Amino acid sequence: MTRRIVLWVPELQQSLVPASSPLLDRLAGRGQRMKLVAAGPNLVVQQFEALGVPCPADSDCPAAALTALRDGLDPGTQAYWLRFDPVHLLAHKSQLLLMDPQVLCLTPDEARAFADTLNSHFAELGWQVVAARPDRWYLRLPQPIHIQTTPLAAVIGQDVDRQMPKGADALSWHVYLNEVQMLLHDHPCNQTREEAGLPVVNSVWPWGGGQLPHPLQGWWQSVAGDDPLLQSLGQLSGARAAAFPADVAAWVRALASGPHLLFYPEILETQEKLANFEETVLGPLIEALKSADIACLVLVAGMDEARSGMLTVLLERKQLHRWWRRARPFLSGQAIGEATDWRRLATAG
């Protein structure tokens, strides 16, 4: 049985990790260093690339329709969907900063109440706001719109004025967002939250617009990771999609032959988190390589500092025994080595 594991850790970057990792550096010294050439300016586009799902050149990657499918909604094939996530904007000097949505901790009842108010106000436009989860809202539109947006995760902590929708319909959407903000400002749920000392929902963030892509045959046997978009893309491309395994060693033993993508999205910003990653994820995968449970392990980190490519190391079982090879810094400032892409990593390196 030939299993090939590609472990993708997008937040494994030199600027985020507090210290070097002897285990990572040892792998970098013994394995084959490569540069994964990825055109995506953000993680959403990179996820589409990784699963082989094309994005339109002049508009958003249709993340909303895909995550709607994963959230149990029926996006159809003709409807246009936007993510319409609730957010808290914080005034700071001359900027409006988008705070991490996790600070809101909305209840399902609050989310439904907000959605009902927006649906009532924008009914004449044919809007349908759906709070599929307290933190994931959707906007179903009767026809496509022409805007380019920035994914929510890429705007956290940033000034929203620089990230507002662009495109032919952008000015209209700036007006709509102002209307939404006024409706939310006076909403009873926000008044209750303010009295309780909780952050209010004072805006929404539109992103990921588009229609549900057609299914295609991808190159992964399975995709595992706690990310609804990645799981949706896996499902669309014919892969078995699942959450990140609680026991990586057991997960490996249950895999069929072929390439498998394991997605680890955590930010390894402390020595403790880095050590936990090595112990619970990277370590078991190396042991699986030693015992021939897998034939190849590929580690893909985040973009290098020059944004020329993603740091990548390919390791086969025979390379583990290169004890004479010196450790090399895995998290160097620039990705080096042979250029590759996601399809080649899944098949032949």
CATH label of the domain that carries residue 221: 3.40.720.10
Rounded Cα distance, 116 and 102, in Å = 22
Is residue 102 domain-shared with residue 239, that is, in the same domain?
Answer: no
User: Can you tell me the mean pLDDT for 256-268?
Assistant: 93
- List, for residues 156-173, the tens digit of each pLDDT value: 999 999 999 999 999 999
Q: Residue 105: pLDDT band by 50, 70, 90 thresholds?
A: very high
Is residue 202 domain-shared with residue 272, that is, in the same domain?
Answer: no
Which residue range is the domain that position 130 belongs to? Answer: 63-210
Alpha helices, DSSP H, located in the chain: 22-30, 43-51, 63-70, 108-121, 170-185, 188-195, 228-236, 248-253, 271-277, 283-290, 342-347
Is residue 45 domain-shared with residue 173, that is, in the same domain?
Answer: no
- The whole-number pLDDT of residue 144 equals 94
Is residue 225 domain-shared with residue 334, that is, in the same domain?
Answer: yes
Integer angstrom CA distances of residue 13 from 51, 77, 265: 22, 37, 12
Percent of the chain with pLDDT over 70: 92
User: Can you tell me the mean pLDDT for 100-123?
Assistant: 97
For residue 96, report the phi and psi dihedrals to the nearest 5 degrees. Answer: -115, 110
- The whole-number pLDDT of residue 41 equals 81
Question: Residue 91: how many CB atoms within 10 A of its CB?
Answer: 9
**Domain end: 210, 240, 259, which one?**
210
Is residue 98 domain-shared with residue 114, that is, in the same domain?
Answer: yes
211 Cβ contact partners less than 8 Å away, ≥ 6 residues apart: 62, 65, 75, 77, 78, 79, 80, 81, 144
- The whole-number pLDDT of residue 19 equals 63
Q: Residue 26: pLDDT band by 50, 70, 90 thresholds?
A: confident
- The whole-number pLDDT of residue 257 equals 94
Does residue 250 surpass a pLDDT of 80?
A: yes
Does residue 11 surpass a pLDDT of 90?
A: no
- The whole-number pLDDT of residue 18 equals 58
Is residue 220 domain-shared with residue 202, that is, in the same domain?
Answer: no
User: Can you tell me the mean pLDDT for 89-107?
Assistant: 94
Q: Smallest Cα–Cα separation from 83: which of 142, 132, 146, 155?
A: 132
Q: Residue 319: pLDDT band by 50, 70, 90 thresholds?
A: confident
Does residue 40 surpass a pLDDT of 80?
A: no
* CA atoms lying within 13 Å on the CB side of residue 180: 25
Token pair for 206: 């539109």
Token pair for 145: 């719109």
Between these two residues, 155 and 77, which has the higher pLDDT value?
155
Does residue 248 surpass a pLDDT of 60?
A: yes
User: Can you tell me the mean pLDDT for 101-117?
Assistant: 97
- The whole-number pLDDT of residue 271 equals 84
- The whole-number pLDDT of residue 173 equals 96
- The whole-number pLDDT of residue 307 equals 72
The residue written with tokens 């990140």 in the block is 244
Is residue 219 domain-shared with residue 206, that is, in the same domain?
Answer: no
**Domain end: 210, 237, 255, which one?**
210
285 Cβ contact partners less than 8 Å away, ≥ 6 residues apart: 5, 7, 248, 252, 262, 294, 297
Is residue 219 domain-shared with residue 324, that is, in the same domain?
Answer: yes
Percent of the chain with pLDDT over 90: 70
Is residue 107 domain-shared with residue 227, that is, in the same domain?
Answer: no
Does residue 21 surpass a pLDDT of 60?
A: yes
Is residue 152 domain-shared with residue 282, that is, in the same domain?
Answer: no
Is residue 165 domain-shared with residue 278, that is, in the same domain?
Answer: no
The number of folded domains in the chain is 2
User: Can you tell me the mean pLDDT for 109-117?
Assistant: 98
User: Can you tell me the mean pLDDT for 322-330?
Assistant: 64
Is residue 238 domain-shared with residue 103, that is, in the same domain?
Answer: no
* Average pLDDT of every residue of the chain: 90
Between these two residues, 149 and 323, which has the higher pLDDT value?
149
Rounded Cα distance, 226 and 222, in Å = 13
Does residue 15 surpass a pLDDT of 70?
A: no
User: Does the model's pTM come out above 0.95?
Assistant: no
- The whole-number pLDDT of residue 85 equals 98
**Domain end: 161, 179, 210, which one?**
210
User: Can you tell me the mean pLDDT for 292-302?
Assistant: 92
